[in-house]
Amino acid sequence: MRQAFVRTIEKLAEKDKRLVLLTADLGFTVFENFRRKFPDRFFNVGVAESNMVGMAAGMALSGLIPVAYSIATFASMRPFEFIRNDVCFQNANVKIVGVGGGLGYGSAGFSHTNYEDLSLLRPLPNLTILSPVDPVETEILTRLAIKHTGPVYLRLGKVGEPAIHLKKPKISLGKGLVFKPGKQIAVFSTGSITANVMKAVKILQTRRLDPTVIIMPTIKPLDKALIKKIAGTHPYIFSVEEHSIIGGLGSAIAEALSELNSKVNFKRIGINDSYYKTVGNQDFLRHRYGLMPDQIAVVVKQSSIV
Amino acid sequence: MKQNLQKLLKTANTLRQDVIKISYNGNIGHIGSALSIVDILTGLYFASARLYPRKPHHPNRDRIILSKGHACAALYSALYRKGFFPKSTLNTYHQNNTLLAGHPEIHIPGVDASSGSLGHGLSIASGMALAGKIQQKKYRCFAILSDGECDEGSVWEAALVAAHQKLTNLIAIIDYNKLQAFGRTNQVVNLEPFPQKWQSFGWRVKVIDGHNLSQIVTALNSCLSKNKPTAIICQTVLGKGVSFMENKLEWHYLNPTKDQFNQAIQELKASL
């Protein structure tokens, strides 16, 4: 996803001179080409994320389109108040990019994992929150983020995310995507964990279940119309995300469903509300949190009486 | 210059009276902090900065960010006297449904960035200064900081980067009245040696009397260095201009009684 992002940013920077890239000292093997091509529009501002976001706001208020980049936890949580006061409240045209959203940096330890960013950022007015499933979607969402005038948070995975989209999908901001039609059961998913959702669906198909899969590239604004439509045709709804079950996509859908007065059965699948002392790689941690395909399939099967 | 100076002195006195009046009517404190920067704002808004009150978003305007937003009464008075908005707006300060909050916000004509949470303004001003360099614009960017604000780590993040990026169009003005919210700066968290700190971060530093308009205007008009951002450390007095408020911590917070209000206005009128 990182590479898809930087390739797209390079292409866009060729056409739009307002685009500038700020990084808080991250991007080794990622940004060298951008720096070579656009030395006057590349700024490594050092390991200082709050200042980076404040500067980006100042640049946006002066007519530029700054893209501020770091590991997702450092891009979202460390400078949170700067995102709130300087970017969102002032509706500054800043694009904040967090890499390794979720458990991508799992073995690096707790400090580098990131499953609270959506909970923190969702309440901020003016902010558009995007979360691509794969490199193809990353390119599309990066383009949409730059085209959109206003603050955007782009939550990327890290490296090696498998392709979900075999052809270029039609995606627009604020809209979900019925990726695989099915019946009775609907699974909403966002981010690279969607690969596991698709594998879980294959397992479920062997057990005569055929879930609909809905991809949510935009977390905010939430596609409530689509949720309503799905809730009208699917009695069992699930959300899957590499994020805390508190405050992320699942919470957003729960909020929407509860206001629909809907009678659907809804269950969130995500990172539970606890800390652990031991760590491991992304798949190890996904297993711990019940996010591997077989685990997702079991929960969906057990929670649906079809 | 002498005639201009007289005019500026009169403007500063008017701003002080405005600060007392609108704070009294709005029932809000932070008067001492506002009086502390009145002379700085007078020099900046009425003798140095290039501003376009009828076109507040003019691309060539100098940018001014009051990072110590709690002193906004002085800013609002300066903006009104400069013609950014009418007196009817000024009089809504700190009332319900006002644009003029207890800390300035970007929706107010003449305000370039919101503030209130300390330690943001220098970062935003740095971004504006860097954007000015990229776009080859000639505007200057001023950020007015309080001394207590310099406890915030983000101020020093910005100070490092601004020097590294050689933001010669960036000017930090520090209101060094040596009183912060809950005590004297040298007793809360000592900032000294303060000028040397900025120097060691790669800034050009000027230390001036922050109530001497001649020194203020000279410093502001000669603040562009060839390769460094500039810090103007202004030695100031909290509550300057009203005898019973000067250098008293409580006037960071208090709102005057009716008697105190009358006395303050009388003192200011007499000192003209």
Q: Which of B130, B139, B165 to mutate to test the interface with A (most CBs of A within 10 A)?
A: B130
Region for A63 from its dihedrals, namely left if φ exceeds 0, alpha if ψ lies in -120 to 50, beta otherwise: left
Q: For residue A221, say if its preceding peptide bond is cis, omega within 30 degrees of 0.
A: yes
Structural domain tally of chain B? 1
**CATH number of the domain residue B242 falls in:** 3.40.50.970
**Which residue in the block uniquely carries the two structure tokens 């390769």?**
B227
Average pLDDT, chain B: 97
Tell me: the pLDDT tens digits for B61-79? 999 999 999 999 999 999 9
Q: Is the pLDDT of residue A306 over 90?
A: no
Give me the interface pTM, i.e. the ipTM.
Answer: 0.95
What are the residue ranges of helices labelled H in chain A?
A: 2-15, 32-37, 49-60, 72-76, 80-82, 117-121, 135-147, 194-205, 224-233, 249-258, 282-288, 293-303
Tell me: the pLDDT tens digits for A62-74? 999 999 999 999 9
Q: Which CATH architecture has domain A177-303?
A: 3-Layer(aba) Sandwich (3.40)
The pLDDT value given to residue A41:
98
The fraction of chain B above a pLDDT of 90, given in percent, is 97
Q: Is the pLDDT of residue A130 over 90?
A: yes
Task: Please tell me whether residue B111 adopts helix, strand or coil conformation.
Answer: coil
Tell me: the pLDDT tens digits for B12-57? 999 999 999 999 999 999 999 999 999 999 999 999 999 999 999 9
Q: Show the domain range for B68.
A: 2-270
Nearest-by-CA chain A residue for B121: A54
Ordered by start, the domain boundaries in chain A are 2-155, 177-303
CB contact under 8 A, B129 and A58: yes
> Given CB atoms, is B138 within the 8 Å cutoff of chain A?
no
List C-alpha distances in Å: B189 to B66, B123, B180: 22, 22, 10
Q: Is the pLDDT of residue A198 over 90?
A: yes
CB contact under 8 A, B158 and A40: no
Task: Please tell me whether residue B257 adopts helix, strand or coil conformation.
Answer: coil
Q: d(Cα A240, Cα A250) in Å, to the nearest integer?
A: 7
Contact residues, B window 30-89, toward A, CB-based 8 Å cutoff = 59, 63
Distance (Å) from the C-alpha of residue A26 to the closest C-alpha of chain B? 16
User: Number of A:B CB contacts under 8 A?
Assistant: 101
DSSP percent split of chain B into helix, strand, coil, nearest 5:
45, 10, 40
Domains A2-155 and A177-303 share a fold: yes
Tell me: the pLDDT tens digits for B221-258? 987 788 999 999 999 999 999 999 999 999 999 999 99
CB contact under 8 A, B130 and A81: no
CATH for A2-155 is 3.40.50.970
